[in-house]
Amino acid sequence: MMHARQGWVFLLVLAFCSGLLAGCQQQLDEIDLQTRVAWAVETLYAGLSPTPALLHTRTPSLAAPSILVEFSSSPTPSPSPIPSLAASATWTAGPPSPAETAIPTPQLDEGLVSLGVPGNYQLLGSHARITDLQVWQGRIYIAHGDWTQNTGPVRALAYDPAVGAFIWDENFLFDEEQVEILRVADDNLLVPGGDGLESWEFGNLYLGQPGQAWRKLRSLPGGVHVWDVAAAGNQWAAVGSGEVGEGRIWLSEDGGATWNLDPTGPELLGVDGENPLNTHAGLFRLNGQVYLSAASGCWQKDQHSWQPAAGCDLADRTIHKYVEWGGVAALVPYFSRPVDAANYLVMYNGTVTWEIEFGQPVLDVTNLEGHLLVLTSPAAGQAQIFSLDSPAAEFRLLQELNLPLLYPLKPFAAWPLALEAWDGSLYLGLQDGQLLRYRLYY
């Protein structure tokens, strides 16, 4: 039997525990709320829509592109399902109330706008990662994908500044695990097929022509990987690797319609069955001539063969991105990871080569209104853009930008990988798939 004093103690303990349980329940509710908010953000950014802030509108025309229209501050569901390469469930969240806001909002530099994640329709690997940007026909075309994790096929994505939306032709896909590089030649957009989804009998090249639908040129014999392509009139050249890791060079004299193997491919590019990337080669143009950068050195294409290019010394690095500017080819050495990028930009004028040191990874180069622009990055989450007014001048730091986080709850900064310029604005493609726009004010 309980003693009277014991009864009073029991009641006090019971009252204390009841209050404690109520406090615990309140704390659990707060934890649950934070968990739900975190889940909402994760779901929003991980959805299979092309970007969490965009809607998709279907168009009936074969050649007409689909348009992704940006959300307003209060998003509304899409009237039609978003076409996807894999089945997905969509979830829409309204804006949280002030009491629920526990997520840090990244602060963007003044003039910097995040346009979205256009390649976020395939969750495997790093499919959304932007590796190159290229202006063509007033649009910013976007190279993305992941050939390590095999995340293809790849949409022919572009951002249209005139309408402020991402677009793609829903009737066309690049049959590749990844599109790594984009080239423009004679008003055409050329896309090398980096890692085809089909048999290795032929490699692919994709051709965009003004006012026409995309064309797939499946005619490069034995092309497992096609690294690069260049064109001078009807004389086209492409480089890549074959089934046993042998370097391959393809030549076309009819504008890419038919291709022949150049027998010097293995000699100039090398052979590596364990890692075909070691046979990587790059092509660039200068003064109407096509140049090859390979493991064996720098070569110039004449009518019948490849000849050593006078004064071209690329320091054992192949070329990835380039721009022809002011009678000079500004060349970015190839890198598979940003941390492996060279700390210098190569300049070549047809007779002599020189390097410009930046002391940090050099990732891309472009031009805007007569200025040569170079993208560098001292660390993930940071971008520096340098400007050069003429080949005889010196580079100056044009802008230093802090890049926004894609996932505020996972504060992992992304490297900038691609730079393009159009109509007074800079466009940056990030490792996490974001496309940014920065308005320049000279």
The per-residue pLDDT for range 179-203, each reduced to its tens digit, is 999 999 889 999 999 888 888 888 8
Of 81-85, 111-115, 268-272, 283-287, the least confident: 81-85
Strand locations in 278-388 (E): 282-286, 289-294, 297-301, 306-308, 319-325, 328-333, 344-348, 353-357, 362-368, 371-376, 382-388
Tens digit of each residue's pLDDT (9 = 90 or more) over 25-53: 444 344 343 334 333 333 333 333 333 33
Over residues 362-381, the mean pLDDT reads: 96
Closest-CA residue to 206 (of 153, 248, 162): 153
Task: Output phi, psi for 25, to 5 deg.
Answer: -65, -40
C-alpha–C-alpha distance, residues 198 and 203, integer Å: 9
The SS3 call for residue 66 is strand
C-alpha–C-alpha distance, residues 93 and 285, integer Å: 50
Query: 344 forms bridges with which residues in the sheet?
Result: 357
Contact 161, 422 (CB under 8 A): yes
Over residues 373-393, the mean pLDDT reads: 95
Q: What percent of the chain has pLDDT over 90?
A: 56
Tens digit of each residue's pLDDT (9 = 90 or more) over 281-337: 999 999 999 999 998 999 999 877 899 999 999 888 899 999 999 999 999 999 989
pLDDT score for 107? 54
Over residues 59-87, the mean pLDDT reads: 33
Of 52-61, 102-111, 138-147, 288-297, the least confident: 52-61
Strand arrangement of the beta sheet that strand 202-208 belongs to? 183-185, 188-192, 202-208, 215-221
What's the pLDDT band for 156 if we cut at 50, 70, 90? very high
Res. 85: pLDDT tops 60: no
